[in-house]
Structure 1
Amino acid sequence: MSIVTVQLGQCGNQIGFEVFDTLFRDSHCSQGLCSKRENEAYQASCKERFFREEENGVPVARAVLIDMEPKVINQTLSKAAQSGRWKYGQHTSFCQKQGSGNNWAYGYSVHGPKHEESIMNLIQTEVEKCDSLSGFFIIMSMAGGTGSGLGAFITQKLQDQYSSSLKMNQIIWPYGTGEVIVQNYNSILTLSHLYRSSDALLIHENDVVHKICAKRMNIKQISFRDLNRVLAHQLGSVFQPTHSEDSSFHYCRNPLVSGIVGPGLPHATNVCLVALYRRPMFLSTNGDLMEHLVPHPEFKMLGVRNIPQMSAESLAYSTFTWAGLLKHLRQMLISRAKMEEGIDWQVRPPLSGLPPIGKASAHKEPHFNTSLANLVILRGREVHSADVGGFRDAALYTSWLEPADAFSVWKTPRPFDKYEKSAALVSNSQLLVKPLDMVVGKAWNMFSSKAYIHQYTKFGMEEEDFLDSFTLLEQVVASYGSL
């Protein structure tokens, strides 16, 4: 089954290129660490998901590129074509000559309605080239105007037009120190609208990725391309083919549906529902109920951790064991560490039957990180000997889900990128509560003094739109805080 990627704005298009380049390079890398048959199956599965082939045999990315200025799209198309490995298709991009001026309202209320028909026709054309559509992967930022505003608009239209196809938004969280003066407004408007139309939000924080570049990759002068390559590596480690728990010898055909499923509402929960979940469950092609990461409509924020991640120079002198990798990954999960550097080894899960220690609200300093659902993805040699029992501990999860329902693992003996052994964790947990609470607080402080509101109201927004966004996101913060 195929995934159509929608690249939005400067950020989305630059990251999208690096993602496709990483996927292609990895799938065509002859590492000699697995059998030829395994490698061929892996390559074929990757191609089916992310590429199609034209008559000349050059793989074409299943993607639509959208921006309101032509510069980045032209650069992205050119880089892909010049690589000689793969390219973007003809007539798969849309651009104009006027950007959104870092204004969410302009992207959502002006560019969106004005160009809706042209953009949706491009997406439909790409969808029609898929034998079987798994869903949409939408790459965008929150800080600017086109990626955030137009991205939220297009996601809503995808939900209207393709309601039965899954939509995952990969969102770049802006630097805390500020990239744009109104980035907190843009962020809350983006998140609140996506919460209504997207099935899952896969979030990367610029501050965290920057630290990985500096401390793990040993990069001295960090560029946006360095950041994007780290992001692409993490995304590739999640989306490249794997075997699911129920299929130890065949690659899963549908990575989105396999990983993000709503099995129904919990028997008892103290959270308030925003709306009933649109689809109580997703079924795989063989009718089995697949593992889930989003079991409830109020919990859609996913974080990614990847281990190991280091420079080529350091990797040459490093060896890894599954026991060591999984020990570090589990501690990163429970202590809210977002990379290997700075793991707090003092944090422990609560003892069974006792109230959790340190599970404070979002307004207090976080300690133990309670999870709703976790997916561990293991790639490399001797992968079937890896023991993931530590992630099945009931103390890691909220009380209204059984660990058997909350945890899943995918494996493949085929290594990823340059790592002989690697592990990725996709987690729906309290990890992002603090940054979300901070963004909402900063936006509220600006809103309460009416700062820059006129820049949004002149494009059709009303103050009630802001209040609706605050209300929804404050409920999300409270719900995650109560896990």
Structure 2
Amino acid sequence: MTQSIVVQVGQCGNQIGCRFWDLALREHAAVNKKGIYDEALCSFFRNTNSRADAGGADVQRGRICSLKARAVIIDMEEGVVNEILQGPLRDLFDSAQFITDVSGSGNNWAVGHKLYGGQYRDQIVEKLRRTAEQCDCLQCFFVIHSMGGGTGSGLGTFVLNILEDEFPEVYRFVTSVYPSAEDDVITSPYNSVLAMRELTEHADCVLPIENQSLVDIVNKINQMTNCGKLGAVKPNSLVTSNIGGVKESEKPFDAMNNIVANLLLNLTSSARFEGPLNMDLNEITMNLVPFPHLHYLTSSLTPLYTLADVNVPTRRLDQMFSDAFNKDHQLIRADPKHSLYLACALMVRGNVHISDLRRNIERLV
């Protein structure tokens, strides 16, 4: 079984990462009823025994002792990191996984990339190497960051340079959150442009996410939830809502961050769980990236109501396939029907017959 490491950079990256680890734990808990450390958990988690020695020896098999996330957490402000350290997920990380400062990057790409990049390069390399050494078969790095902030755009892309230098054979998947047109940070367009060049040069695959698209999807989910004929949200939601999870209260951006976290969970599901048609993560890049620099993928999620656990009958597979190419389901504001596709991948989770998949693929083509 292969392992992946998540690198969270900046305020946005760490907020999304926090939601990702929360949802990942809940997803595995819903499947792993016996509390056994299996290959699915090994993909993103270590099983450590703190009683063995001071460092916490890894336990490869048997019951779960103490799960530790395969993650490196970087932020030049302490706010979000302190929330993680004081929150319910604090036991999932240790101090060796954090790199923080107090002043922040001031929404300036150059400060994050040039100033903090040079200042913290050695620490970043050390944390990455230590985390990589704890993997038996490291498959890829997932970098989560924003394009509008100084730390996310500047230091986030600087981390990509480090990963390319230190781990040239390991794939680099990047989830980048782009600012909306109504962003009130005046430097965000400049930060995005400067970061885009670094993403083009040093990433293997980029999943661009736009803030405005997330807002539109959240509003659509709320409309569907409040509509009487579609039912109501389940009292113990297992996907998007924090009810029944490790957090008691929701923050304004949690619903948006949950959508991105669900995207990553669905993307890695075939690498974590067994199935008849599992797809290796590296196959995504192999099949969808025609040229090295042309590695930006448009993401879509359907059906949307599952993100809110709404009590409605299962929609027909045909409608789900059609919705996947609908602009209302895209995580970046683009109309797929007015664009040209060089390649396309449809990843389906659940009990679906191969014949139905082939029929819908032929219908869409």
Q: Which residue of 1 aligns with 2:237?
A: none
* Deviation digits for residues 81-116 of structure 1 (CA, Å, limit 9, x no counterpart): 36xxx6123410010111100000111110000110
Q: Which residue of 1 aligns with 2:47?
A: 53
Q: Which residue of 2 aligns with 1:273?
A: none
Q: Letter of the aligned partner of 2:30 in structure 1?
A: C
The equivalent position to 1:163 in structure 2, one of 164, 168, 174, is 168
CA distance in 2, matches of 1:366, 1:237: 21
Q: Which residue of 1 aligns with 2:293?
A: 298
CA distance in 2, matches of 1:311, 1:133: 31
Q: Letter of the aligned partner of 2:26 in structure 1?
A: R
Conserved 8 A contact 1:217-1:311: no
Q: Letter of the aligned partner of 2:342 in structure 1?
A: L
Q: Which residue of 2 aligns with 1:476?
A: none
Is 1:196 matched up with 2:201?
yes
Is 1:187 matched up with 2:192?
yes
Runs of 5+ consecutive residues of structure 1 not aligned to the other structure:
31-35, 262-291, 342-361, 397-483
CA distance in 2, matches of 1:259, 1:178: 32
Conserved 8 A contact 2:221-2:308: no
Give the CA deviation at 1:24.
Answer: 1.8
Give the CA deviation at 1:338.
Answer: 4.0
| 1:318-397 pair list within 5 angstroms | 318-329=313-324, 331-332=325-326, 337-339=327-329, 368-391=338-361
Q: Which residue of 2 aligns with 1:225?
A: 254
Q: Which residue of 1 aligns with 2:230?
A: none
TM-score normalised by structure 2 residue count: 0.80
CA distance in 2, matches of 1:45, 1:369: 39
Give the CA deviation at 1:157.
Answer: 1.2
Is 1:74 matched up with 2:82?
yes
Is 1:149 matched up with 2:178?
no
* Deviation digits for residues 57-100 of structure 1 (CA, Å, limit 9, x no counterpart): 12111000000111211212332436xxx612341001011110
Runs of 5+ consecutive residues of structure 2 not aligned to the other structure:
51-64, 227-249
CA distance in 1, matches of 2:305, 2:194: 35
Give the CA deviation at 1:312.
Answer: 7.6
Question: Residue 250 and residue 212 in structure 1: after superposition, are their counterparts in 2 closer, same or farther (change >3 A)?
Answer: closer
The equivalent position to 1:249 in structure 2, one of 276, 288, 310, is 276
Higher helix share: 2
Q: Which residue of 2 aligns with 1:430?
A: none
Conserved 8 A contact 1:9-1:68: yes
CA distance in 1, matches of 2:300, 2:288: 15
Is 1:240 matched up with 2:265?
no
CA distance in 2, matches of 1:90, 1:168: 25
Is 1:64 matched up with 2:75?
no
CA distance in 1, matches of 2:350, 2:275: 14
Give the CA deviation at 1:149.
Answer: 0.4
Conserved 8 A contact 1:15-1:228: yes
Give the CA deviation at 1:18.
Answer: 0.7
CA distance in 2, matches of 1:248, 1:21: 24
CA distance in 2, matches of 1:238, 1:389: 23
CA distance in 2, matches of 1:137, 1:103: 23
CA distance in 2, matches of 1:392, 1:21: 38
Q: Which residue of 2 aligns with 1:98?
A: 103
Partner SS for 1:306 = coil
CA distance in 2, matches of 1:171, 1:313: 23
CA distance in 2, matches of 1:23, 1:158: 24
* Deviation digits for residues 19-46 of structure 1 (CA, Å, limit 9, x no counterpart): 121122112214xxxxx9xx99x98343
* Deviation digits for residues 454-477 of structure 1 (CA, Å, limit 9, x no counterpart): xxxxxxxxxxxxxxxxxxxxxxxx
Count residues in correspondence: 324
Conserved 8 A contact 1:326-1:388: no
Give the CA deviation at 1:323.
Answer: 2.4
Conserved 8 A contact 1:213-1:227: yes
Is 1:112 matched up with 2:112?
no
Partner SS for 2:180 = coil
TM-score normalised by structure 1 residue count: 0.61
Question: Residue 312 and residue 121 in structure 1: after superposition, are their counterparts in 2 closer, same or farther (change >3 A)?
Answer: closer
Question: Residue 320 and residue 69 in structure 1: after superposition, are their counterparts in 2 closer, same or farther (change >3 A)?
Answer: same
Question: Residue 312 and residue 367 in structure 1: after superposition, are their counterparts in 2 closer, same or farther (change >3 A)?
Answer: closer
Question: RMSD of aligned C-alpha atoms?
Answer: 3.1
Give the CA deviation at 1:205.
Answer: 0.6
Q: Which residue of 2 aligns with 1:344?
A: none
Question: Residue 312 and residue 231 in structure 1: after superposition, are their counterparts in 2 closer, same or farther (change >3 A)?
Answer: closer
Partner SS for 2:148 = coil
CA distance in 1, matches of 2:336, 2:348: 28
CA distance in 1, matches of 2:301, 2:308: 18
Conserved 8 A contact 2:77-2:101: yes
Give the CA deviation at 1:216.
Answer: 1.8
CA distance in 2, matches of 1:316, 1:198: 40
Q: Letter of the aligned partner of 2:28 in structure 1?
A: S
* Deviation digits for residues 394-424 of structure 1 (CA, Å, limit 9, x no counterpart): x96xxxxxxxxxxxxxxxxxxxxxxxxxxxx
CA distance in 2, matches of 1:78, 1:68: 18
CA distance in 1, matches of 2:140, 2:308: 38
Conserved 8 A contact 1:12-1:139: yes
Q: Which residue of 2 aligns with 1:14?
A: 15
CA distance in 2, matches of 1:76, 1:59: 16
Is 1:24 matched up with 2:25?
yes
